[in-house]
Amino acid sequence: MKAANYIDPGQIEMRGDATRPVPAAGEVLVAVEACGICGSDLHMYRNDSYRDRLARKTPEGYEVPGHEFAGRIAELGEGVTGWEVGERVVGVTGLGGGMADYVTVPVNPYQLVRVPEGVSFVEAATTEPMADGLQMVRKAAIQRQENVVVFGVGIIGLGVIQAIRAQGIEAGRIVAIDVQQARLEKALEIGATDVVNARDGDVFAAVAAICGTEEGYRGISANVPVIFDCAGYIAHMSGPPPLETALRLVSLTGGRIICFGGFEGAMTIDMGPIIQKEPVIMGSNGYAPEELVQALDLMRTGKVDRRTLISHRFPLAEISDAFEMQCQPQAVKVVLDIRDQVAA
């Protein structure tokens, strides 16, 4: 079968001689139609971060990334009931494998879910990151008219904005922060009220001008009770990590910072505001099973448009070009058409 092979940072290729996997008991084999390139895949591609968690080895030794994908069930493993060959499904794997003609997926509500009619495979391939956004918004418990900041508006941060809007949450200002103008423009298109390009100057001053400031014995803050850090720490980027800026921005009382973005190694950060402001800092890793279903239902009903976030599509044979494009400033979400074109 055809499969991606991650070799080293900056090196990925397609192989045409990989062994087709066989589903174990409790698994199904999925014939993949579309697979997204995730931000975590880019961390690996840049500097080998998370390699042991993101690439599944074939018997030939090929390392196959891809953990967010959609396709059809091609085979049932022993003991699998309630599923049929040919069903359209979203698969999520903890150890890659989705950038290939076929991948095995355990049958459980965290990793396998049916795709409803009216949702294409290319949309469905973005289900997992949409569910991630739904969980982050659930954890944040945004109250009426609370201002929100989203650091990093790739597919995850944009999904956070879509989740807020689709659920009718009456937030105050929703400020998107990024260094790529194309992503900021997309954030405005899907529901952000304001954008800040971090390359343009002091982020604190820009956000404070939008949301106002607070001052008291705890210090000075912007009026931002809720912050989503979907950027994490990218080692080659200059300036303080987004989490440090988030701690400066977050409200003097009752602040919540939800952290999702990956970290490319250790970093130095000023932690003083944690003591001064007593914010709650929550990690978010994944989603509840019902949020996978909810994400697909939001697509089915048209409450979110995931197609607008897919900026580029490549066949698997051009996987090196696809990864290079995902690294470019004009790219929002790159999806691989595993079988050359994505069927409905």
> Cα–Cα distance between 259 and 202 in angstroms, integer?
21
Q: Is residue 46 pLDDT above 60, yes or no?
A: yes
β-partners of residue 284 are none
- 156, 309 in Cβ contact below 8 A? no
- 226, 195 in Cβ contact below 8 A? no
All structural domains of the chain with their residue ranges: 3-126+306-337, 129-283
Note the pLDDT tens digit of each residue in 228-272: 999 987 766 677 899 999 999 999 999 999 999 888 778 888 889
- Which of 160, 175, 144, 147 lies closest to 259 in space, CA to CA? 160
> Cα–Cα distance between 336 and 304 in angstroms, integer?
21
So what's the pLDDT on residue 240? 85
> Cα–Cα distance between 161 and 130 in angstroms, integer?
10
> Cα–Cα distance between 267 and 265 in angstroms, integer?
7
> Cα–Cα distance between 182 and 319 in angstroms, integer?
22
CATH topology of domain 3-126+306-337: Quinone Oxidoreductase; Chain A, domain 1 (3.90.180)
Angle between helices 289-300 and 127-140 (to 10 degrees): 110
| Architecture of the domain whose range is 129-283 | 3-Layer(aba) Sandwich (3.40)
Note the pLDDT tens digit of each residue in 266-324: 888 888 999 999 999 999 999 999 999 999 999 999 999 999 999 999 999 999 999 99
Percent of the chain with pLDDT over 90: 87
So what's the pLDDT on residue 252? 96
Q: Is residue 342 pLDDT above 60, yes or no?
A: no
Note the pLDDT tens digit of each residue in 110-166: 999 999 999 999 999 999 999 999 999 999 999 999 999 999 999 999 999 999 999
The pTM for the full model equals 0.93
So what's the pLDDT on residue 339? 83
- Which of 145, 197, 199 lies closest to 174 in space, CA to CA? 145
Average pLDDT over residues 186-213: 96
pLDDT tier at 5 (50, 70, 90 boundaries)?
A: very high
Average pLDDT over residues 168-197: 96
- Which of 109, 111, 107 lies closest to 70 in space, CA to CA? 111
